[in-house]
Amino acid sequence: MVVSGNPLCAGGVEGISSAAMKLLGCGLAFSAVLFLACAKGVRADVEDDSQAGTTAFAGPSEFAFLDTPTTQLEAPPTTTPATAPAPPPAIAATQPEAASAKEGHFPGITTTYGLDEFFEHFAPYEPMYFVGGTRSPNIKFQFSLRYRLFTPTGPLGTEYPWVRGINFAYTQTSFWDVSDTSHPFFYDTSYMPQFFYYFESIPYVQLPESCQAGLQIGIGHESNGQHDPNHRSENNAFIRPIITFSDAKTGLFLTLEPKFLVYLGELDLNPDLPKYRGYCDFRIVLGQRDGLQLATIGRLGSDYNRGSAQFDLTYPLTKLSHGNTDLSLDAQYFYGYGDTFLTYNQRNSIFRIGLALAR
């Protein structure tokens, strides 16, 4: 059978060709209409730009007939602004860099998030250091900060100045034993939160200019967080006067910090703790503000035959580092009972050396 000679097939081919020509004609007509619409939109944008003094073409997202929503950060500017536009409040709160990214700089973290006011509440409390030695436990570090609960310039602090003295403090002393495989790394840690009132100067006490006296009254807790039989814990109430004598000419000073305490509640886990720690810690610091200092902490047990002493000789590295660091070299020696809370009833002597963050 010859297909080309089939009149039916020939008629079908002619029908298909006729339909294709009609579709092609419609497509060309639609393309022409679309081209004219686009040209009209571009011409309108050129006229607007020429009236504004520019000849830049607008982006395709700005064609009116497309009606594409844009945001302030996505839409390109039609003119060059003298300064970067301020972002909406919602964006400025979550993206502070949006306001000044085009200017080549970013706002400071403390300025943006108010950390300056946050850090103004903090101050060092006990000495902070990281020291290590050759005997067990090898490494010892202490971290301590106090937090003033109320802002002195706030409404409450202005109306009632006495609330400025309310403080919360946290001290943590940890020991690492890297030489003993039976105690991997952490050997013992003491957690010591305190809540106290701080008189920076004792009221109604007249002292010479070379003498300053403060007073702390509060309650404290200490525990090491271990399981029985190694768990240690105690609660106390304390009073600590702080008396400092200083010489403005030489920079020498002497600070006396006796801390008198009573134990609160039963000492079930360590009932003989007063025999080794007693009821008083005595700290003496002698030296120069920006020079060599010797700090001594002494304890005497309730039976007056057990006690301990710790000596810290520190020297600031500011001059040696040409002002690049505020750290101090710390040489520490401990002798007596209770180097750690876990071994409060065991005698030990150890020398460690390292760095101090706060003396």
Phi and psi at residue 293, in whole multiples of 5°?
-135, 145
The percent of residues in the chain predicted with pLDDT above 70, rounded, is: 67
At residue 14 the predicted structure's pLDDT band, cuts being 50, 70 and 90, is very low
Per-residue pLDDT tens over the stretch 96-142 = 444 443 444 444 544 555 677 778 889 999 999 999 998 989 999 99
Per-residue pLDDT tens over the stretch 255-289 = 999 999 999 999 988 999 999 999 999 999 999 99
Identify the burial level of 254 via C-beta atoms within 10 angstroms of its C-beta, where 0-12 means exposed, 13-18 middle and 19 or more buried.
Answer: middle
Residue 174 DSSP symbol = E
Long-range contacts of 207-214 (CB under 8 A, 24+ apart): 210/245, 210/246, 210/247, 210/248, 211/243, 211/244, 211/245, 211/246, 212/243, 212/244, 212/246, 213/241, 213/242, 213/243, 213/244, 214/241, 214/242, 214/243
Helix (H, G, I), strand (E, B) or coil at 31: helix
Least confident segment among 33-47, 119-133, 164-178: 33-47
User: What CA–CA distance (Å, rounded) separates 197 from 235?
Assistant: 17
Taking 70 as the threshold, does the pLDDT of residue 170 lie above it? yes
Prior bond of 203 cis (ω within 30°)? no
The pLDDT of residue 171 is: 98
Taking 90 as the threshold, does the pLDDT of residue 168 lie above it? yes
Contact 4, 10 (CB under 8 A): yes
The pLDDT of residue 193 is: 98
At residue 67 the predicted structure's pLDDT band, cuts being 50, 70 and 90, is very low
Look at the pTM and tell me if it is higher than 0.85: no
User: What CA–CA distance (Å, rounded) separates 135 from 137?
Assistant: 6
Phi and psi at residue 238, in whole multiples of 5°?
-140, 160
Per-residue pLDDT tens over the stretch 215-262 = 999 999 999 999 889 999 999 999 999 999 999 899 999 999 999 999
Long-range contacts of 160-164 (CB under 8 A, 24+ apart): none
User: What CA–CA distance (Å, rounded) separates 12 from 27?
Assistant: 23
Contact 64, 48 (CB under 8 A): no
Q: What is the 3-state secondary structure (H, E, C) of 116-136?
A: HHHHCCEEECCCEEEEECCCC
Taking 90 as the threshold, does the pLDDT of residue 344 lie above it? yes
The pLDDT of residue 8 is: 39
The pLDDT of residue 27 is: 53
Least confident segment among 32-36, 118-122, 138-142, 149-153: 32-36
Mean pLDDT computed over 46-64? 42
Per-residue pLDDT tens over the stretch 192-223 = 999 999 999 887 888 888 999 999 999 999 99
Least confident segment among 46-50, 60-64, 95-99, 243-247: 60-64
Token pair, residue 160, equals 């009632």
Taking 90 as the threshold, does the pLDDT of residue 30 lie above it? no
Q: How many Cβ atoms are within 10 Å of 306's Cβ, its own excluded?
A: 19
Sign of CA dihedral 350, 353, 356, 359: positive
Contact 348, 334 (CB under 8 A): yes
CA-closest candidate to residue 295, choices 325, 250, 333? 333
The pLDDT of residue 11 is: 45
The pLDDT of residue 116 is: 72
Give the distance from CA 50 to its chain's centroid: 54
Rounded alpha-carbon distances, angstroms, from residue 163 to 11, 147, 173, 241, 337 = 104, 13, 29, 19, 38
First to last CA, the chain: 110
The percent of residues in the chain predicted with pLDDT above 90, rounded, is: 53
Identify the burial level of 17 via C-beta atoms within 10 angstroms of its C-beta, where 0-12 means exposed, 13-18 middle and 19 or more buried.
Answer: exposed
